[in-house]
Amino acid sequence: MRELDKVLDQNEKVFWEGKPKFWPFFLSGFVGAIFGLIFLVVGGIFVVQGIASGNYFFILLPHFWIGVGFVFGMPIYKALVYKHTYYAVTNKRVLLQKGLIGRDFEMVDFDQITNAEVNVGVLDKLFGGGSGSILISTAGTFTYTRRGPVQKPYTISNIDNPYEVFKFFKKVSHAVKTDIQYPNKYRPKTNPGYGTDYNPNK
């Protein structure tokens, strides 16, 4: 259910909106399944031994339930949250709607964006007809651990025509940033900085 209007400002205009393609979005939930299978195998050994001996202590084994969570939990979550997942590019920012029970919104102002990239994965190729994801980084998407900085970008996941949407997003982002930094009232008609050729011999 689309509920983006709940967070739109009065004069905010939506230039583009969309939602993920279901199959690549859903199947991406199985990415952690390999990790979960390891826990299931370890827990499964104890389960078999417990059943064989008539003991059902395996119900309390954390390995078993962690494995179940990784293998089945995320795909189930993806399936349930899909109908509430929407994305929009407005004249002010990027909006990401999600949430299972209540509606959650993430908002990324254009002037806070430090980097963006487009990614078309295997699942997009096989099940999404060439869908893809746009990853948006800001200063706030970096967290620091003992192993160094870890990036968790905002993600517009598994959308149709990712390259076209990415180019449009970059165009709008650049225009909005320019207006913020150089308002039209103060922008010169000509700017010698644009198109300047660097000559190392000068």
The model's pLDDT over 116-165, given as tens digits with 9 standing for 90+, comes to 999 999 999 999 999 999 999 998 887 666 777 778 899 999 999 999 99
Domains of the chain: residue spans and CATH: 13-21+84-182 (2.30.29.30), 28-79 (no CATH)
Backbone angles phi, psi at 123, to 5 degrees: -65, -35
Distances (CA, A) of 99 to 90, 158, 176: 21, 17, 28
Dmax (CA) for the chain in angstroms is 87
Split at pLDDT 50, 70, 90, the class of 186 is low
CA distance 57 to 34: 25
Instruction: Please state the rounded mean pLDDT for residues 60-79.
Output: 74
CA angle, 131 as apex, 71 and 178 as ends, to 5°?
A: 115
| pLDDT tens column, 6-30 | 999 999 999 999 999 999 999 998 8
Q: What is the mean pLDDT of residues 167-186?
A: 82
Q: Which of 185, 108, 96 is nearest to 141 (CA)?
A: 108
Mean pLDDT for the stretch of residues 61-82:
78
The upper half-sphere exposure of residue 18, i.e. CA atoms within 13 Å in the direction of its Cβ, equals 22
| Separation in Å, CA 152 to CA 22, 62, 132, 140, 195 | 22, 27, 17, 9, 35
Average pLDDT over residues 163-179: 92
**Is pLDDT at 57 greater than 60 in this prediction?**
no
Residues 6+ apart with CB under 8 A from 43: 58, 61, 63, 64, 65, 66, 67
pLDDT of residue 31 exceeding 90, the answer is: no
pTM, full prediction:
0.79
Owner of token pair 């010169």: 188
pLDDT of residue 162: 97
If pLDDT is split at 50, 70 and 90, which confidence band does 112 have? Answer: very high
What average pLDDT does the chain have? 83
